[in-house]
């Protein structure tokens, strides 16, 4: 189970590299198998390329092994995606999570295929491992089964997995059935146990930022009789959080857990939760027995 780590900002919206590294270390200590930094939840699309590179190097300099890092590198512009992907490979990251170019719509399978193929060819490094990032609710442009099949045929051992944030279990199940050995991560723990039982690789979920230990317990126990109960517990927390905008909601919870209001800062176009929404969210979590008074182990 990988965590799409939240990116903390200072009050002036500058990235806070120190708090970011501390948060990432805490996630790993709590049981995350890896970190899908610079995903949607990380507000990566609100970071420029230089910020992404600096933050990645900050993590590695701070003692986090690149072997647990899967940075997001897919941008709208081919040169940005190539540069970030090459940088991640050079830093030793075990893989990259690649959005398709998402500005131009209606580009068809050929356009999506050509985009990913061009990046792989230009990076030209056998160490590269690409996880496709399928998130139609945000990107609109996504990966069809046809494109995935073509990429797997053209780049075996390079294109190795996919994060499915479609929110559509039928799509996730279809991928698991159609492409055995392909590492499929649902984008939500709602489908974690179902995915594991069909050969899924785990999940990459926004709410792991605040509930990573519970998901780790499920990952450890999924073949035991406790699995269904653990699944219900993480799903209930997820359901409570996803009634609110995902990024500000997770940041509000972290701000509460850490007693650190600075965690509420988001970059536009996102906005922090209003007080009323935050109170409703925290009350809803408390009613589920979600501990909001845990000792803060990180910044």
Which C-beta is closer to a second copy: that of 268 or that of 289? 268
The smaller minimum CB distance to a second copy, of residues 34 and 100, is found at 100
Q: Closest distance between a second copy and the C-beta of residue 88, in Å?
A: 17
**Nearest distance in Å: CB 130, a second copy:** 15
Mutual angle of helices 145-154 and 108-123, in 10-degree steps = 30
CB of 133 to a second copy, least distance (A): 12
The sign of the torsion formed by the CA atoms of 169, 173, 179, 180 equals positive
Residues in the site for a second copy, rule: CB under 8 A? Answer: 13, 40, 45-49, 51, 76-80, 83, 100-108, 110-112, 114-115, 118, 137-141, 245, 267-271
At closest approach, how far in Å is the CB of 175 from a second copy? 21
The 10 Å Cβ neighbour count of residue 248 is 21
User: For residues 58 and 20, what is the distance between their CA atoms, to the nearest angstrom?
Assistant: 9
Residue closer to a second copy (CB basis): 141 or 227: 141
b/e map of 160-195 (b: 16 or more CB within 10 Å)?
Answer: bbbbbbbbeeebbbebbeebeebbbbbbbbbbbbeb
By CB atoms closer than 10 A (0-12, 13-18, 19+), residue 158 is middle
10 Å Cβ neighbour count for 27?
A: 25
Smallest gap from Cβ 157 to a second copy, in A, equals: 22
Sheet with 96-98: strands ordered across = 96-98, 130-134, 159-164, 183-186
Complex with a second copy: residue 80 or 183, whichever CB lies closer: 80
- Which of 231, 250 has the CB closer to a second copy? 250
């Amino acid at each position: 189970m990988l965590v799409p780590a939240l990116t903390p900002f200072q009050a002036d919206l500058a990235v806070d590299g120190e708090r970011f590294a501390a948060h990432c270390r805490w996630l790993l200590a709590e049981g995350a198998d890896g970190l899908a930094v610079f995903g949607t939840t990380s507000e990566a699309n609100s970071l420029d390329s230089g910020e992404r590179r600096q933050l990645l190097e900050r993590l590695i300099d701070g003692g986090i092994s690149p072997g647990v890092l899967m940075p997001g590198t897919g941008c709208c512009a081919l040169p940005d995606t190539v540069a970030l992907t090459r940088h991640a490979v050079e830093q030793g990251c075990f893989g990259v999570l690649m959005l398709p170019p998402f500005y131009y719509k209606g580009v068809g399978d050929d356009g999506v295929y050509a985009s990913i193929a061009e990046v792989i060819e230009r990076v030209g490094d056998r160490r590269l491992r690409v996880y496709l990032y399928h998130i139609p609710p945000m990107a609109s442009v996504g990966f069809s089964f046809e494109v995935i099949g073509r990429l797997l045929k053209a780049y075996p051992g390079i294109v190795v997995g996919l994060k499915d944030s479609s929110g559509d279990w039928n799509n996730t199940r279809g991928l698991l059935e159609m492409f055995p050995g392909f590492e499929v991560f649902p984008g939500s723990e709602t489908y974690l146990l179902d995915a594991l039982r069909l050969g899924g690789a785990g999940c990459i979920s926004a709410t792991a930022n605040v509930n990573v230990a519970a998901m780790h317990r499920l990952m450890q126990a999924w073949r035991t009789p406790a699995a269904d109960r653990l699944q219900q517990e993480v799903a209930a927390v997820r359901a409570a959080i996803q009634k609110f905008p995902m990024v500000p909601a997770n940041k509000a919870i972290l701000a509460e857990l850490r007693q650190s209001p600075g965690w509420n800062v988001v970059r536009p176009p996102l906005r922090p939760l209003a007080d009323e929404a935050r109170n409703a969210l925290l009350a809803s979590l408390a009613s589920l027995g979600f501990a909001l008074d845990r000792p803060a182990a990180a910044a």
